[in-house]
Structure 1
Amino acid sequence: MNDPVLAQQIVDSSTDFAIITFDEGGLVTSWNVGAESIMGWTAEEALGQHGRMIFTEEDQAAGSPEDEMKRASIDGRAVDERLHVRRDGSRFWGSGLVMPLTGGSGFVKIVRDRTTERETERRLAMLTDALPGFVFEADADGHYVRINARFKAYTGRESSGLLGDRWLETIHPKHRDRARDAWNEAVDTGTTFEQTYMVEGADGEYRCFACRGVPETDDQGRVLRWIGTCVDVESEAKAKALLEDLNISLEHAVTDQVAALEESKRSLLAEVAERERIEEALRQSQKMEAIGQLTGGVAHDFNNLLTVILGSVDLLARPGLAEEKRTRYLAAIKETAERAAKLTNQLLAFARRQPLKAEHFDVADRLRQGMEVLRTVSGSRVEIDLQIRCEPCVVDADANQFETAILNMAVNARDAMEGEGCLTILVEERGEIPATRGHAAVEGRFIAVAVSDTGSGISEQDLPRVFEPFFTTKDVGKGTGLGLSQVFGFAKQSGGDIIIESAGPGAGASFILYLPRAADGEVHGEADLKPPTASTPPSGGGCVLLVEDNHLVGEFAAHLIGDLGYGNMWVSSAQEALELIEANPEKFDMVFTDVVMPGISGIELAERLRVSFPDLPVVLTSGYSHVLAAEGSHGFDLLQKPYTADGLAQVLKNATTK
């Protein structure tokens, strides 16, 4: 407002409000008509006086005028609800507000007489006086401004001996500093005050009180005042002390009995330790037997495969070998190597160490699409009954591994029925995985795929060993014993399980595969259950940076990439690869890196390149990596070892055309 005359007229017309200004030291610099009407001093009498003249003696002693100005300077305003003094010494309840003047030249205080409204509050005070505990009210700065009759009666003090900060004098010296610090912290932070301490009564005795104070705030969260109560908990404190004494007495009473029991306990622990040692030795023996069986099975199968490979290589080395024989031996080596790769993947599946590519797919749709494959695998004399009891039946798992698991279960059922019978595949949603193999039931939402046959069933002694690798009840040469172990590993690694139900020999069997139901119920992914088809290696182009620490594999892969039509450079560590790319980032069109390497792994290399060179494609390759098994390929293309020329050509082609 630029018109000082108009501003003064507004101030003088506000007769219901006392509007007072002070300089930085608190001296009165202006005094409106409302101030003269409410407080009694004329402007001539008030000008130059210190503003504390309108405060009560108790508030002056507590430093309330100075606190008010300090709070206004910090917060921009200070709300004032307290008793004020008139010229004739009478008191009235004033509701006020203090704000700093613009330019930092002092403060303005606006006060309204709320004595009438306080009459209602007086009646409330009568109610608080009737309460058995202490009731107190403090201003925004934490100074007590009102206490109830019970507080005064217990302490034998009048209001003047408790208001302001004098209530602290009634607290036991051992508790006083703690109470003061806790109260000041609550006032500073605007948080609830809660303390238990001893308070001195009028008779000089101390009793225990639990006190609690809560702040009352305005719409902006500024504290207006504090309301609190103190409740006598002396009886509870004595009861607690008595209980503690009783506990100590009981502890002493049983000490002798405990000492007597200790010897028995030591003897029992020694017996238990001996039994655990014997049981551990038995478990180790069983583990060694299982490892021996697994090792023997692996050695047996790999020696058979190596026999074919080595024999074919020797025959290929003979001079003058006919082209027909040469083609036959090469085909035998390729087929045998593929069987060795499949054997390795089955072992990794059982051990739950295969890298899975989880996606959302509908089990029912996938089975319907794959019925032709299942009928071909099962044979013409096996009737297949597909029963779908949930729509949709979307799971979160690796679709390719699911297809392999279904085929393995179907083949197992076909063999159990000796190629003739009824194969039932039931798909439904279930609310838990039942307890099995010593594990408790698991609650959740699962899609269950039950593959049931009418075959020979499973004997009770064979049930615990069905999922062991290389365990089979089939005749020699009719089964590897790895099909069901692959299903078991896939189910467990996917967060599900597989359950066997069989009434015994001759009663058939059901293998129930449980997979986690997808949370959103939507299908992601497009893999189909269909047999692999032959592919023609696509032609290459561009320069590939090959990262492989194994010399033999690196040398072979470099030649193979070159034969596929790509330029290439081979380095044996991720560090070398990073240095080459950073020195000449335009030289390479893609990176083909092994995962397991000393120092920086292939995944770490790929992640760094994704950040620094986001347009540079990276393809991973690995025979096995615990990181891949646990975390997947981190979104990068992955080519499993051993890989074929067709497989390498396809993944490199895909990388360059993305």
Structure 2
Amino acid sequence: IALMRDISGRKNLQERMLNTQKLESLGALAGGIAHDFNNLLVTILGNVELISEDAEANRRWAENLDSITEAGQKAADLCQQMLACSGQGKFQVDNGDLSDLVRGMRSLLEAAIGGRAGLNLQLGENLPAVPMDSASLRQVLMALVSNAAGALDDDGGEIVVRTSLTRFASEELEQSQCLPPLPPGEYVVCAVADSGRGVEPSIRHRIFDPFFSTRAGGRGLGLSAAMGIVQGHKGGMLVDSVPSVGTTVSVLLPRAPRLVAKPRRPRKKAPDNLHQDLAGKLILLVDEDTPVRKVCEGYLRRLGCSVLSVDNGPDSVRIFSQRFQEVDVVILDLGMAEMGGVATMRRLRVIKPDVPVISST
């Protein structure tokens, strides 16, 4: 007697889960590096701006400072890409039409292709709204189209961008190795298809890895950042590729939920205390990152403020308890290790409940 069981489905699921865990680990690493690196850039760019006025008397130094600022800004842009890879990018979400977003990008997409191929937009009409951060999804689409253009042969080809509302069964999502795994159902889809060289099966599982690239000089962050942004929108990506035929990358996004109108309660308008002239105000500045805190202190003093500078929560509470009647505003780092920002804010509000607090991280 011989018993046989097909375990290919289980193996595929295990492989997808391993790929998802790997992307999460790499994303967490990239996000941690980007966060720390971003704090260094705040120090560099902030100090450059603070001394730039003095440098106007000597144009040679001013040009050097401009070069530092430009390089720092490029590094800051790279940080944002790394944060996107980790799914830690900041999104301003609003319901929107995916077809309208693609339609409005035609000229940008044609510029990204650079005349190497024809651009064919096949956009669905009356698609359900999608909760989206428009700027981030534009970045995703630009990355996919740029990648598709780079996969074309020297004689060019065609790139098709297609939007639709599509229902996916669980089998389709499993066979296509959707990352991250999504439940079956209807999704609003934006697919980018090219007639290029295709992706070799041996490297297909790596195309979303941070810093992986098949191009000479490529940073390997475009598709990884795209994946992080899509994950941040609770969506997933499918890749269908045949060597020497072409590749289709599909972005699956959940449709916006149907909202039930609820009676609105009248809200009391908060007093606008943040647009006052800061000159002469006493600011309690609390941040454990000394270089960042010094830059912030420099900006505040240039605005005419007096500053109490503290590097931890307990000391800030102690100083505030002594001078709470003088302090006008508190600027508070939420990510402090010793007595976190939220706990510190609560202690400060016990002493003076109406003190304005600006939180940062």
Equivalent residue number for residue 425 of structure 1: 161
Q: Report the Cα distance in structure 1 between the residues aligned to 2:178 and 2:123, rounded to whole angstroms.
A: 30
Residue 149 (structure 2) aligned to one of 414, 426, 441: 414
The answer to which structure, 1 or 2, has the higher relative contact order (CA under 8 A, 6+ apart) is: 2
1:148-203: CA deviations, max 9, x gaps?
A: xxxxxxxxxxxxxxxxxxxxxxxxxxxxxxxxxxxxxxxxxxxxxxxxxxxxxxxx
Q: Report the Cα distance in structure 1 between the residues aligned to 2:212 and 2:314, rounded to whole angstroms.
A: 45
Residues 382 and 569 (structure 1), Cα distance of their counterparts in 2 relative to 1, 3 Å cut: farther
Equivalent residue number for residue 450 of structure 1: 191
Equivalent residue number for residue 597 of structure 1: 336
Q: Report the Cα distance in structure 2 between the residues aligned to 1:385 and 1:421, rounded to whole angstroms.
A: 11
Question: Is 1:517 matched with 2:255?
Answer: yes
SS state at 1:480 partner: coil
Question: Is 1:486 matched with 2:221?
Answer: no
Q: Report the Cα distance in structure 1 between the residues aligned to 2:255 and 2:140, rounded to whole angstroms.
A: 17
* Deviation at residue 579 of structure 1 after TM alignment: 5.4
Equivalent residue number for residue 467 of structure 1: 208
* Deviation at residue 466 of structure 1 after TM alignment: 0.5
* Deviation at residue 365 of structure 1 after TM alignment: 2.8
How do 1:181-330 residues align onto structure 2 when only pairs under 5 Å count? 326-330=61-65
Equivalent residue number for residue 270 of structure 2: none
Return the letter of the residue paired with 1:512: S
* Deviation at residue 467 of structure 1 after TM alignment: 0.5
Q: Report the Cα distance in structure 2 between the residues aligned to 1:360 and 1:402, rounded to whole angstroms.
A: 12
Return the letter of the residue paired with 2:307: N
Q: Report the Cα distance in structure 2 between the residues aligned to 1:474 and 1:457, rounded to whole angstroms.
A: 14
* Deviation at residue 497 of structure 1 after TM alignment: 0.8
Return the letter of the residue paired with 1:416: A
* Deviation at residue 462 of structure 1 after TM alignment: 1.9
* Deviation at residue 515 of structure 1 after TM alignment: 1.8
The 8 Å contact of residues 324 and 351 in structure 2, kept in 1 or not, is answered as no
The 8 Å contact of residues 392 and 521 in structure 1, kept in 2 or not, is answered as no
- Unmatched segments (≥5 aa) in structure 2: 1-17, 49-56, 261-274
* Deviation at residue 597 of structure 1 after TM alignment: 0.3
Equivalent residue number for residue 541 of structure 1: 278
User: What is the RMSD of the two structures over their aligned residues, measured on CA atoms?
Assistant: 4.2
When normalised by structure 1's length, the TM-score is 0.39
Q: Report the Cα distance in structure 2 between the residues aligned to 1:332 and 1:463, rounded to whole angstroms.
A: 39
The 8 Å contact of residues 143 and 222 in structure 2, kept in 1 or not, is answered as yes
Q: Report the Cα distance in structure 2 between the residues aligned to 1:621 and 1:459, rounded to whole angstroms.
A: 45
Residues 588 and 483 (structure 1), Cα distance of their counterparts in 2 relative to 1, 3 Å cut: farther
Equivalent residue number for residue 177 of structure 2: 437
Equivalent residue number for residue 106 of structure 1: none
Equivalent residue number for residue 134 of structure 2: 399
The 8 Å contact of residues 540 and 566 in structure 1, kept in 2 or not, is answered as no
SS state at 1:502 partner: strand
Residues 331 and 384 (structure 1), Cα distance of their counterparts in 2 relative to 1, 3 Å cut: farther
Equivalent residue number for residue 372 of structure 1: 107
How do 1:575-590 residues align onto structure 2 when only pairs under 5 Å count? 575-578=314-317, 587-590=326-329
Residues 371 and 593 (structure 1), Cα distance of their counterparts in 2 relative to 1, 3 Å cut: farther
Q: Report the Cα distance in structure 1 between the residues aligned to 2:101 and 2:178, rounded to whole angstroms.
A: 32
SS state at 2:210 partner: coil
How do 1:101-180 residues align onto structure 2 when only pairs under 5 Å count? none
Equivalent residue number for residue 361 of structure 1: 96
1:460-491: CA deviations, max 9, x gaps?
A: 22211100111111123xx2101100111222
The 8 Å contact of residues 196 and 247 in structure 2, kept in 1 or not, is answered as yes
Residues 324 and 611 (structure 1), Cα distance of their counterparts in 2 relative to 1, 3 Å cut: same
State which structure, 1 or 2, has the greater radius of gyration over its C-alpha atoms.
Answer: 1
Equivalent residue number for residue 637 of structure 1: none
Residues 445 and 515 (structure 1), Cα distance of their counterparts in 2 relative to 1, 3 Å cut: same
Q: Report the Cα distance in structure 2 between the residues aligned to 1:339 and 1:585, rounded to whole angstroms.
A: 41
SS state at 2:242 partner: coil
Q: Report the Cα distance in structure 2 between the residues aligned to 1:607 and 1:369, rounded to whole angstroms.
A: 46
Residues 356 and 610 (structure 1), Cα distance of their counterparts in 2 relative to 1, 3 Å cut: farther
Equivalent residue number for residue 239 of structure 1: none
How do 1:622-641 residues align onto structure 2 when only pairs under 5 Å count? 622=361
The 8 Å contact of residues 539 and 564 in structure 1, kept in 2 or not, is answered as no
Q: Report the Cα distance in structure 1 between the residues aligned to 2:227 and 2:347, rounded to whole angstroms.
A: 36
1:564-599: CA deviations, max 9, x gaps?
A: 554433222234445555666664554433221023
* Deviation at residue 451 of structure 1 after TM alignment: 1.7
SS state at 1:556 partner: helix
Return the letter of the residue paired with 1:555: K
Question: Is 1:341 matched with 2:341?
Answer: no
- Unmatched segments (≥5 aa) in structure 1: 1-282, 314-321, 523-537, 623-658
Residues 326 and 464 (structure 1), Cα distance of their counterparts in 2 relative to 1, 3 Å cut: same
Q: Report the Cα distance in structure 1 between the residues aligned to 2:349 and 2:125, rounded to whole angstroms.
A: 41
When normalised by structure 2's length, the TM-score is 0.67
The 8 Å contact of residues 383 and 421 in structure 1, kept in 2 or not, is answered as yes
Residues 392 and 591 (structure 1), Cα distance of their counterparts in 2 relative to 1, 3 Å cut: farther
1:56-96: CA deviations, max 9, x gaps?
A: xxxxxxxxxxxxxxxxxxxxxxxxxxxxxxxxxxxxxxxxx
* Deviation at residue 351 of structure 1 after TM alignment: 2.7
Return the letter of the residue paired with 2:166: R
Residues 383 and 563 (structure 1), Cα distance of their counterparts in 2 relative to 1, 3 Å cut: farther
* Deviation at residue 400 of structure 1 after TM alignment: 3.2
* Deviation at residue 549 of structure 1 after TM alignment: 0.8
Equivalent residue number for residue 274 of structure 1: none
Return the letter of the residue paired with 1:541: L
* Deviation at residue 444 of structure 1 after TM alignment: 3.4
* Deviation at residue 390 of structure 1 after TM alignment: 4.2
SS state at 1:471 partner: coil
Residues 331 and 611 (structure 1), Cα distance of their counterparts in 2 relative to 1, 3 Å cut: same
Residues 392 and 438 (structure 1), Cα distance of their counterparts in 2 relative to 1, 3 Å cut: closer
In terms of fraction of residues, the more strand-rich structure is 1
